[in-house]
Every structure is written in structure tokens, then in C-alpha cells.
Structure 1
Amino acid sequence: MDFARSSHPGVQAQLDRLGLLSVPDGRFGLETITTLLDRLGNPHRQLPPTFHVAGTNGKGSVCAFLRAMLEADGKRVHVTTSPHLVRYNERILLAGRLIEDEPLAALLEEVLDASEELAPSFFEVTIAAAFLAFSRTPADACVVEVGLGGRFDATNVLQSDVLAACGIAALGIDHERFLLAPEDGVPKDPMARIAFEKAGIAKKGIPLVTGFQQAGPALEIERAILRSEATLKMRGREWHASMDDAGLHYADFGGALDLPQPSMPGGHQIDNAALAVAMLRHQEALSVSPEAMAQGLRAAHWPARMQRLKPGPLTGDRAVWLDGGHNPSAGATIAAFFEGPVHLVLGMLDNKDPQALIAPLGDRIRSLTVVPVPGHDSHPVEAFGPDAKAVDTIEEALLGIPADDYPILIAGSLYLAGEVLRLNDGIPN
């Protein structure tokens, strides 16, 4: 299930109600979330300037960079992202702070009571709660991460009256059951279809900023722009970015910026940081100084995305990295990050490709240990090949890794990553 336990009885009572929700097979569309929000007074129409971010990989990191740069400029920022890693509260950040338990319990109760007979999904209730909280707490900006896809995602109720800019991060194949479901009038090529779904967030008169340059998906984005009457700001055309030892070099119609290297490790984070800069540069709802952008790039963090874990009860003093990546695009990114051998501890949901991370790393895998994903159906050890070894817990996995100088990578699921953070006293705050 997609919810955490809470030590607060009021929050737990509402999480129990959330846990009973599910999406009826085959239901797609925005009718349920629209009706629910209408019952709540349409809080999504009462938000400060909002940045809406989609993408297969990297969208959460783009949101983290946007938040950090806006806050560095002195702005109060609401944020909603998913999934949470340890506490449900992580999904709703109010003016820079996680929502507290008492107001969260009351908020969820209000939304769930209003949703009677609608049969909403877990995510629809969560987004309604986030928008309701945002509408009641003063702030200067909102940052909203798409949950799945874009066109039919619950966050896509956002319209031009509140949007400052929309962005699309890296594209790849994931959630095939939903995003590649047969439908008339949609692209047949898988990557073009993914682009079509993500581009569904485009809105009339609002800049849609893209951070990728693949020809096929880019063409589908162009078509979406024509349908929506948004304004397209494409990397390689309206804006450019590159990285060297001196830092991130960005340029667009307004001139050039020389910015520091992003704090989050990995070459892919350069692309995510550049997209966040481009989204701020191509909107007119609020101003953010170049100095704040630079400070935000240095300050941004995003747990369980190529995160070097601090010494703790679980890891000891070993070099342990944590990443929630679970699809082939994430596998390629991880493989590009690690230059040499690595001990891989892997737990993956049974609806994911078990080779997504193993194949890109190839013969650099020094050892492969498979663990279950707590609370979820996950692949058995046989799915990962003859060299994989199964253990029951993440603690057992780490104890069984040889004491050498090779780094350890724990990956394959954000749910597993949340358990690792909890056990290592690294709960996000």
C-alpha cells in the first residue's frame, strides 16, 4: 500500500481510511478530482503562482531545485510531491515546513468526508488535501509534482489562472499499464505516447519548458503546444545549458548566466537544475535573482536520489548510496554515476523490469543481494539471475557484503529507500 504508519492517532485514523481507497480498473480522467475540489470550494483556483512539473525521471529533483531557488530569494513556498519516503506528511509542505500532524488529521478528515460516494483514489484525496491546505496558508509560490503521466493526473486540474510555468523533465518508459494503455487518437510509438501524456499539462498562454532534446518526443510536444496554445520553451532552441569544471553555464533570450555546480551529485542533476532555472527564467509571475538561483543550486537536496547516506545505525561508516530508481532510464543514470565496481542491494516491485538496473551496470556489479520491499509485492530472487542472493532484511543484506573499499548501492524502489532512511535515522524533514 502507498501510505505510511503514523504515531499520531488522528493521522492514523485517516490513513486507515485512505488505505481503503483504490482506483477502479480502467478509470481515467479528471472528473472525480474536479467534483471533489468543487465540493471543497475549488481551492486549486486560489493558489499563488504555481510551477507544475512532469517527467519520467527527475521531476522531483526539478521541484527541489525550484523550491530551493525560490526560498533563497526570500519567498514562502508550498510544495507537493510523491511518493513519501517515511511519513505521509512529506507530501504537503506548507510555506517551507512539513504539515504538522494535528492539521493534517483534520485536513484529511475534511477531504475524505467530502469525497463520499465519489470513490476517489488515494492520490486524488492527497492532491485535494494539498491544494486545500495551500489555499488556506499564505505563500508566494507553489511547486507541484505530477504523480503519474500528466494528461489524466489529478494535479492537472491546475489552469492558466494560477500557473506560472510548466516543465517536463527526462522522458523514459515507465508505468506502461497506464501510460501505454490502448486508446484511439493517441501516438502508437511508445516514447511519443509518453511525451503525449506528459505534454497534457500544457495550458493556454503558459510557458511549457522542456529539458530534453529527443526528436520524436519533441515533435509530439510541438503538437501538444498547437492544441493547448501554450508557449513552448525547448532546450536547444529557446534556451541552452552546459557544464564544465567552472560550473553550470546557462543562456536564453535574456542573456547568459554562470552558475555553480548543483549540490546534488550525478550528471543528470545538471539537466534537472538547468530545467528549473529555465522555468524561472521563462515565466513572468514573480522574479528570482541570479544570486538566489546560484544559492538554491548549492542548497537543494532530494532524499533517496543518488544520496550518500550519513553514518548511522544501519550503514555504519561504509560508503552507502541510496537511490529509488527502478526503470531503464534510471538504470542508465546510475550506471553513468558509478565508474567502477559496486555492491548492489536491490528490491523491486513485481510490476517493474528486474533488469532495469542490472543490465546497465553489467559486469561492474561486485555482488547482488535481493531484499523484499516492505509492505509491497516484490520480485523474487530468481528474477535477477543466477548470481543474485536473497536475504530477508536490508540489515542482513548489508551485514553480508564483504568489507572492501567498493561502494554499496541500495536501489530499486522508493518504498525500500524510505525504509532505509527510517532505519538509518534519516527521516526527511
Structure 2
Amino acid sequence: MKILVLNCGSSSIKYALYNMDDKSVMTSGGAERVGLDGAFVKVKMPDGTKKKVMHDIPEHTEGVKFIFSLLTDPEIGVIKSLDEIGAVGHRMVHGGEKFNKSVVLNDEVIEVFKSVSDLAPLHNPANLKGVMAVSELMPGLPQVGVFDTAFHQTMPAHSYLYAVPYDLYEKYGVRRYGFHGTSHRYVSQRVCDFLGVKYEDKKIITCHIGNGGSVAAVQNGKCVDTSMGLTPLEGLMMGTRSGDIDGGAVTFLEKKLGLGPDEMSNLLNKKSGVLGITGISSDMREIDDAVAAGNERAKLALDMYNYRIKKYVGAYAAAMGGCDIIVFTAGVGENQYQMREAVCKDMEYMGVKLDAEKNKGIRGEEAIISTPDSKVTVCVIPTDEELMIATDTMNLLKK
């Protein structure tokens, strides 16, 4: 079976076509600047070669249509007919409390998904555009929704509730939902396969560290806590997001700066984090260069960034009564050995012993980076959310 995975953002469409017979990626890529001037699609072929195709993409239906045409293109296409595609799996950001697992998309599911769109007003409508585009272009083709929030729906109430009046939860769904769930689910399962241990018996802390970042506590195969909240703003310090901040500081700044809610949200989501502290960039590679050049604010930002991750790792070890495995994944987690070293430093008290030399040599590959006598096994596991979406899609359609 061939399955197309779509991840539709507000101005982008990422895609990957899988041959699920051997779980190989036939082709992948992404449309960028959807609805803007200078739109284009980047295509990555199985042999690793890349091609950039300029094309006017005024909206998502046209973007999906053009991606379909590239899949069957005589020169760069990998299938002869769209009929070879058995289903489409979609990344859906926010399912609220309505979805605790992936589901086959139908009219009823889509209406429920729309009802929680106010929890993710930038992401959910964009996800839905991708679903509608496929329905228009290939009516009857099965589609599956895989939700970022679903994996975290096993959190207990004492973990996900905020200490605000309870009726705000009942009326408006104000609670912690968590995100990056598909990634946390994939790497927590994959690390157990990699180590040859039983998933349901382990206490695992997964660190998805990229431009956006979150940490999750996975106990006996279920998520029991995660760092992101009602929105992806809570938790770690991120590229442009503040992460945890005193609610009183928010209202204080609104008054001092004369900002409304939308302006304050923009400040915390797009102008804070690593970018806000350094004044340079949200790209950790550029921050590393600045640190090497002696920039003190860049060093401060890195110290803050790493400290937040360490705090959550320690907190989740305490919450679970111990930890068997720590996993680092996503762009920074897989490639920045300095961050992994800083997080694991001085954690011998909880059984963490990092192999510093081995850690330095690991970039984007599955590896154990702790010493053989470390009580906690520390690993790097590259995430593969697209494969997880494709696998969920295939498994649902087999039922």
C-alpha cells in the first residue's frame, strides 16, 4: 500500500509518499509560501537529490493539486497514476479532549475537529484545508487524522488541570493538552525496540528539542505528563517562544507596554525565547557561532535553554519515581551534542552517566550515549512523525 502523508500549515504543505510494503519513503518535499508571492515546492527524491520547482500557489487546494501532479510527473514523479495512492494521512494539531487516538476522517469527525479550532486558530483551519483539498481532488480516497494532542490524553487530571476556577475547564476546556505527541509516541516506542526492552515496563523521559520543544514523561506505555499546555507556548524556552512565564508578568507587561491580548501573544510566541534573549536569531546554529565569538547574551540564552530542559527532566523523574531511559530527538536534540551534555551534567545522583566522547560524535542517528554502567540509559533517536502517521493510517484501514 502507498500512503501519502500531508502536513498543512498556514503557508506551507509538507508531504511524503510511503511504500508501506517496506516502509520506504518514495519521495518527499514541501510547498512553501502558499498564498504569497514566490511560492515553490521542494522535492526530495529517494536517491537524496533535491529539486526546487517554482509555481504559483494561491491556496491549499492548488498546492495539493500541484503536489499530486509532481508525484506523477514524467521526470521527477515516482508513481504512474494517483490511483496507486491507497490513502492520505494528515497531521492534525489540536484534537482537544475529543480525540485520544488517530481516526478515519468523515463528516462527523470533521465537525468535531472544527469545534475545537478555537484552541488552535492558526493550525487547525490549515490542517482542515488539506483534508478538503484531497476530498475535492480525489473524492472517496480514505483519509486519516493523526492528532498532536492525542498521545497526551492519558495524562491524569492532577497533571493536566490548571489551578483556576474549575468551571473554566468545564465551559472552555482550559487545561493542558500538550503537543508533539506523535513524535513523543514514536521515539518512546522506538527506543524500546532499539534497546530490546518492553515498552510497557519502562519509565521514559522524551525530549523533543527543536525550534519548538517539549518534554514528556511516559510511564508503562502511557504519557503521564508533558511540558506544553493549552497551547504550544508553555514549558521549555524555545526559538521564539518564552515558555513558562508568570501570569502576573504577562498582565504587568500588558499594562506597561499598552498591549492587547493579540499583541501580547505575538510578543510571547514570536519575539521571545532564544531570539528575545540574544537579539540575534532563533537558530541554534547561529547562537553557537555567537557563543564561539564571545557573545555573552548568546551564552546566557544557551544556559537558560539547557537549564529549562534539565529542570523538566528532573521533575519528571521525580513524578514517575525514577527514570529508566532518557531520549533526545528533533533538530536540536538529534544534532547538538552540547545541549545533551549540558542537560545530563551533574545528574549522576539520579543514575545518569553520559559518555562524553561518544555523545560528541552523534548527529542524527540512533545511538546510546550513556556509559555501560549508567543506571539510566540515555539515547538519541531521530523522530519520524511522518512514518508514524503513515503507519496509523495503514493500520486503521486494515481494520
The bucket for the TM-score relative to the shorter chain is 0.3 to 0.5
Q: Scaled by the length of structure 2, what TM-score is found?
A: 0.32
Asked which structure has the greater RCO (Cα within 8 Å, sep 6+), the reply is 1
Q: TM-score, normalised by structure 1?
A: 0.31
